[in-house]
Amino acid sequence: MTLRFIFVFPASLCVRGSHGCCLAAGAGSGRKDFEEDPRVQGARGHRRSVSRGSYQLQAQMNRAVYDERPPGSLVPTSVAEASRAMAGDTTLSENYAFAGMHHIFDQHVDSAVPRLQFANDDKRLLACCSLDGTLSIMTLSPPPPTVKVTLKGHAGPVTDFAWSLSNDIIVSTSKDGTLRIWNTEDGRCIREVADPEGSELLCCTFQPMNNNLTVVGNSKHHLQVVNISTGKKVKGGSSKLTGRVLSLSFDAPGRILWAGDDRGSIFSFLFDMATGKLTKAKRLVVNEGSPISSISARSWISREARDPSLLINACVNKLLLYRVVDNEGTLQLKRSFPIQHGSQPLHSIFCPLMSFRQGACVVTGSEDACVYFFDVERNTKAIVNKLQGHSGPVLDVSFNCDESLLASSDTTGMVIIWRREQK
């Protein structure tokens, strides 16, 4: 096994679908709508040959890289060189310099846009959901950027949604008490699944290894695994939290599900792939009574930081980064970064390509109407970049798969597309 292979392996395992990450196959195959970034192509070329592996295999690989480090050095020299070749000799700040606004979408203006998400492995396709009861799918090229299709049917605010791995369907949750499954080509609602308790649905996510299954969280504290090809609840696939279920994230292998509630607790669940059953494992109270508005899981955050990690927004005026220390999902606080966050449902993400670079970047919305980029490996002056342009709290952020574009949404319904400077 070559070093190159070892190094790129974790990137192919990053969380897909719900938190801004690429698929292993070539992005937007054959499309040349944005300037191609050679280092990204290089990275992708390597990744194409790598298939999905198990959690154990990944841990083994992480260890292999670690063990090959020359004594006293931070990372294996050859791996560091390979990474430098892909990332170019830029610092993290140069990498995340943005040239400015590329486009503004205002179709949801006057209703907050709580979530937005680029499609998997497609840098031109973006979707968002709105409290106005609709979702929209936007294409960013060929220019001009346009709203391709509007998903209409929910009878209440849309709280969350997720792209399937192949981008052919979107699932969405609403305060109208239904989960809806949409065809993303024509915008047709394929299926509607009512919450058995008739309560508001607040969040949803796909099981990354089996897109027939989604998990839904409601306002009566319940989590439920739903088989979307039948619309039926999965037996043994439900559990109860201590509050309204606000946030969900699977780890990349689909083995652990994380769920956060409005009372300040994060729970880990072990997911049985064969049956869809959930087993409650660990609970962490971040801050009693402070809603957990966002959870993102990542297997490997940078060359220097090998631990699986969770990025959390918890209404504590900080963005929190936890280390996952065992197979049951025990968490240990690693870092925190100051932001304005007291009450809004803010979200944050890991940058999709960070594994190839020195340092590692996370991006978050903030109630001061700015988007913040932090380097998780920098001890002082962790702010890498700050984007100003929104006129209300920034609720969600999403990178496209090659990081050429970042999208952000706010409480006023504005969606801004930011373009990264090409070096």
Q: With left for phi above 0 and alpha for psi between -120 and 50, is residue 254 left, alpha or beta? A: left
Cα 385 to Cα 421: distance, rounded to the nearest angstrom? 13
CA dihedral 50, 55, 60, 65 (to 10 degrees): 60
Alpha carbon separation from 292 to 77, 94, 158, 186, 261 (Å, rounded): 39, 32, 18, 34, 6
Residues 356, 92: contact at Cβ < 8 Å? no
10 Å CB burial of residue 342 (0-12, 13-18, 19+) is exposed
Q: State the binding string over 67-106 for ligand NAG (x if CB under 6 A, else -).
A: ----------------------------------------
Least separation in angstroms between residue 273's CB and ligand NAG is 9
Least separation in angstroms between residue 228's CB and ligand NAG is 8
Alpha carbon separation from 33 to 124, 145, 367, 383, 415 (Å, rounded): 8, 12, 33, 31, 21
- Identify which of residues 177 and 276 has a Cβ nearer to ligand NAG in the complex: 276
**Quick check: 211 binds ligand NAG (CB under 6 A)?**
yes
Q: Strand, coil or helix: what is 44?
A: helix
Least separation in angstroms between residue 237's CB and ligand NAG is 8
Residues 279, 269: contact at Cβ < 8 Å? yes
- Identify which of residues 93 and 238 has a Cβ nearer to ligand NAG in the complex: 238
Structure tokens at 341: 């966050």
Stretch that binds ligand NAG, among 54-62, 155-163, 214-222, 225-233 (CB under 6 A): 225-233
- Identify which of residues 130 and 205 has a Cβ nearer to ligand NAG in the complex: 205
Stretch that binds ligand NAG, among 209-217, 354-362, 378-386, 389-397 (CB under 6 A): 209-217
Work out which of 210, 238, 242, 412 binds ligand NAG, going by CB under 6 A. 210
Query: Which of 356, 359, 368 is closest to 41 using CA atoms?
Result: 356
**Quick check: 238 binds ligand NAG (CB under 6 A)?**
no
**Quick check: 234 binds ligand NAG (CB under 6 A)?**
yes
Structure tokens at 422: 């090409």
**Quick check: 330 binds ligand NAG (CB under 6 A)?**
no
Least separation in angstroms between residue 296's CB and ligand NAG is 23
Stretch that binds ligand NAG, among 17-25, 204-212, 368-376, 379-387 (CB under 6 A): 204-212
- The single-letter DSSP state of residue 353 is T
Least separation in angstroms between residue 259's CB and ligand NAG is 19
- Identify which of residues 1 and 274 has a Cβ nearer to ligand NAG in the complex: 274
Q: How far is CA 29 from the centre of its chain?
A: 22
Q: Is the dihedral of CA 346, 251, 197, 174 positive or negative?
A: positive
Residues 146, 139: contact at Cβ < 8 Å? yes
Least separation in angstroms between residue 210's CB and ligand NAG is 5
How many residues bind ligand NAG, per CB under 6 A?
9
- Identify which of residues 4 and 277 has a Cβ nearer to ligand NAG in the complex: 277
Least separation in angstroms between residue 166's CB and ligand NAG is 10
- Identify which of residues 273 and 325 has a Cβ nearer to ligand NAG in the complex: 273
Least separation in angstroms between residue 163's CB and ligand NAG is 15
Cα 157 to Cα 177: distance, rounded to the nearest angstrom? 10
Residue type, 235: K
- Identify which of residues 227 and 242 has a Cβ nearer to ligand NAG in the complex: 227
Least separation in angstroms between residue 278's CB and ligand NAG is 12
Work out which of 230, 279, 332, 343 binds ligand NAG, going by CB under 6 A. 230
**Quick check: 166 binds ligand NAG (CB under 6 A)?**
no
Residues 290, 262: contact at Cβ < 8 Å? no
Work out which of 227, 317, 330, 340 binds ligand NAG, going by CB under 6 A. 227
Cα 298 to Cα 162: distance, rounded to the nearest angstrom? 17
- Identify which of residues 77 and 229 has a Cβ nearer to ligand NAG in the complex: 229
Stretch that binds ligand NAG, among 52-60, 205-213, 283-291, 330-338 (CB under 6 A): 205-213
Q: Strand, coil or helix: what is 372?
A: strand
Stretch that binds ligand NAG, among 50-58, 226-234, 241-249, 372-380 (CB under 6 A): 226-234
Vertex 354 angle, CA 92 and 43, to 5°: 110
> Footprint of ligand NAG on residues 252-291 (CB under 6 A)?
276
* Contacting residues toward ligand NAG, per CB under 6 A: 210-213, 227, 229-230, 234, 276
